[in-house]
Amino acid sequence: MKISKALKTLVLLAIVVCSNAIFAQQPSTYQVHSHNDYAQEFPFWGAYVGGAASIEADVFLKNNILYVTHSEAEILPENTLERLYLQPLAGLARTGDLRKLQLLIDIKSDAESTLEALVQELQDYPVLTQSENLKWVISGNRPKASAYKNYPDFIEFDHQELDDLDTIDLSRVGLISVDFKNYSVWNGFGNMVAPELKKVKEAIAKAQAVDKPFRFWGSPDTKITWTRFANLSVAYINSDVPAQAVSYLKTLEQNTYVNTKKVEVYTPEFSFDYEDKPVNVILMIGDGNGLAQITSAQIANRGNLTLTQLQDIGFSKTASTDDLVTDSAAGATAMATGTKTHNRAIGVNQNDEKLKNITEILSARGFTNGLITTDAIDGATPASFYAHRKERDDTEGILSDLATSGIDFFIAGGRSKAALVPDIFKVLQLDDFVDLNGKTAIYIGENKVPSIAQGRGDLLAQSVKQSLEILEKDREPFFMMIEASQIDSNGHANNTAGIVQEMLDFDETIARVLRFADKTKNTLVVITADHETSGFGIISGDLKTGELHGEFLTTNHTGIMVPVFAYGPQAQKFRGAYENTEIFQRILKALEIVP
């Protein structure tokens, strides 16, 4: 045991010595207090390296030595204040590496004598008492408030009362702390009940009114607590896991989004006949669009989406042949060809042999085929609907496959690679796309199409609307694949705002498509995802304000099933839980086509 502890200490010290960068790091906007720090495996260092802004040491005076302990009975001879706190602090201060820090000294023995011993001991360390970055705050057993002023200037006090603030000398009060349990019985999950939240807010306001930093002790120690306290502007957030709290709170802002742009929800008519054979098929793929992504947009849109009006719902199992967690290439290939393959493969099986894809099958039967995406045209999802390559990064090979493909038009990013697209594709501006004569390429971005955050506006919905107007005129039957590709990229970036914005844009596009389906009554619409991205979860939010707080398991895709929504004739075929290859199979079954 001793050896392993010594080893651990050595490893930690090595980390500490080698990582001056860590010391240069400022604490996050929210300040975390390391409660009972002396009880940690590595007192001081764990909290300091972890970014805590305040560190608490319980101190007991015995035989004129200041021990760090909760009680006299628990004194360990080696655990002196000097060894565990003063020496490391002095070391950092001498090399100029000490960042801003509050030391909360919680006196467990007699107030006056312990404080006197502490003052004496600190005076041996002028580097600590004179440091502008250090604040010494006395908590626990303290002298009367009227005696605060009798101590040297570097000593401040933790005042633990809110009702006498207008009667005492506040000049030496460095912190106000109160016991959370006097205000609420909240366990740190869900929400505080309203009357308790009111009391908590009033307590915080009293400290703020006299311009003093505030802390609750005895509070729950959960992510939700840290979040609520941060939002309530509690100056020091109490935690027994300070490094975790700091790293969590650092992501708070990026993970929180308040949506201001509500999108219109379209209510579909359901006036088609389920038993009809559909004429047209529109497959809509939200890349990385799992259930949490959809729910996040639904919350941001104050509780409702067009997508969630649909009634024929299933789940797609997305694993590829070589990985439980698929990439977009294998995911889209499964939907485009009905065959599972290895990650990175575009339209080929796991032995890299060409697979017949749905646009080839349908073009041989007189369908017009179109692709619309916010990705580049050679992105893995659109590529799987026309190309046959074993490697998704084989841009040249993928784009050359357009020549022999069943694709009649595409609207996509990728202008910068247009020279690689076979010249049988006539290049048009979107505005000039009013009818379809020969194969047509429309570029709406250099590489990827700009994101919503970059100002894409309603370009996706507009592209879909224009295409449907053309197809409706004289181009039935048709197959169209529409991809909202940037739900995925924002998942990879762990960007809550981006996920919500791109999903809401997808929903507006879905509304466009459903209006068309209602008008024609002969169009089967299937809306799904190739996989989920980021293990996105929603930990809190507000349906009234459109606020949403997300969290992420990973920056990669995940293996969780994704929802499938269907609308139009034969939509009932898409109920249940099935492999992603069934999307292809069931579309062809709906069309009564045997490939």
Residues that bind Zn ion (CB under 5 A): 488
CB 232 within 8 A of CB 180: no
Q: Tokens in use for 581?
A: 């290859």
The SS3 call for residue 518 is helix
CB 153 within 8 A of CB 117: no
Nearest to 537 by CA among 547, 551, 519, 526: 551
The nearer residue to Zn ion, 378 or 488, going by C-beta atoms, is 488
Name the maximum alpha-carbon separation found in the chain: 98
Query: Least CB distance from residue 492 to Zn ion, whole Å?
Result: 6
The nearer residue to Zn ion, 252 or 560, going by C-beta atoms, is 560
- Any residues with CB less than 8 A from the CB of 504 and at least 6 apart, and which? 259, 261, 263, 297, 300, 301, 452
Q: What gap in Å lies between CA 382 and CA 406, rounded to an integer?
A: 13
Q: Tokens in use for 157?
A: 């006090």
Q: What residues pair up with 533 in beta bridges, in sequence order?
A: 557
The nearer residue to Zn ion, 512 or 531, going by C-beta atoms, is 531
The answer for 236, left when phi > 0, alpha when psi is -120 to 50, beta otherwise, is beta
The nearer residue to Zn ion, 488 or 502, going by C-beta atoms, is 488
Query: Least CB distance from residue 522 to Zn ion, whole Å?
Result: 34
CB 548 within 8 A of CB 295: no
Q: What residues pair up with 282 in beta bridges, in sequence order?
A: 480, 525
Nearest to 323 by CA among 557, 153, 537: 557
Q: What residues pair up with 257 in beta bridges, in sequence order?
A: 548
The nearer residue to Zn ion, 121 or 488, going by C-beta atoms, is 488
Query: Least CB distance from residue 354 to Zn ion, whole Å?
Result: 24
Query: Least CB distance from residue 488 to Zn ion, whole Å?
Result: 4
Using the structure block, give the residue that is written with the tokens 């309203």.
194
Query: Least CB distance from residue 453 to Zn ion, whole Å?
Result: 18
The nearer residue to Zn ion, 114 or 343, going by C-beta atoms, is 343
The nearer residue to Zn ion, 121 or 375, going by C-beta atoms, is 375
The SS3 call for residue 257 is strand
Query: Least CB distance from residue 330 to Zn ion, whole Å?
Result: 12
Query: Least CB distance from residue 9 to Zn ion, whole Å?
Result: 42
- Indicate the residue whose CB is closest to Zn ion: 488
Query: Least CB distance from residue 460 to Zn ion, whole Å?
Result: 18
Q: What gap in Å lies between CA 176 and CA 265, rounded to an integer?
A: 49
Cα angle 454-456-460, degrees, rounded to a multiple of 5? 150
The SS3 call for residue 566 is strand
The nearer residue to Zn ion, 488 or 505, going by C-beta atoms, is 488
The nearer residue to Zn ion, 131 or 343, going by C-beta atoms, is 343
Query: Least CB distance from residue 334 to Zn ion, whole Å?
Result: 15
The 10 Å CB-count burial string (b at 16+, else e) for 472-503 is eeebebbbbbbbbbbbbbbbbbbbbbbbbbbb
Query: Least CB distance from residue 530 to Zn ion, whole Å?
Result: 8
The nearer residue to Zn ion, 247 or 554, going by C-beta atoms, is 554
Q: What residues pair up with 179 in beta bridges, in sequence order?
A: 217
Query: Least CB distance from residue 136 to Zn ion, whole Å?
Result: 51
Q: What gap in Å lies between CA 137 and CA 215, rounded to an integer?
A: 13
CA 420 to chain centre: 36
Q: Which amino acid is at 593?
A: I
The nearer residue to Zn ion, 105 or 325, going by C-beta atoms, is 325
The nearer residue to Zn ion, 530 or 582, going by C-beta atoms, is 530
Query: Least CB distance from residue 416 to Zn ion, whole Å?
Result: 21
Cα angle 518-520-522, degrees, rounded to a multiple of 5? 100
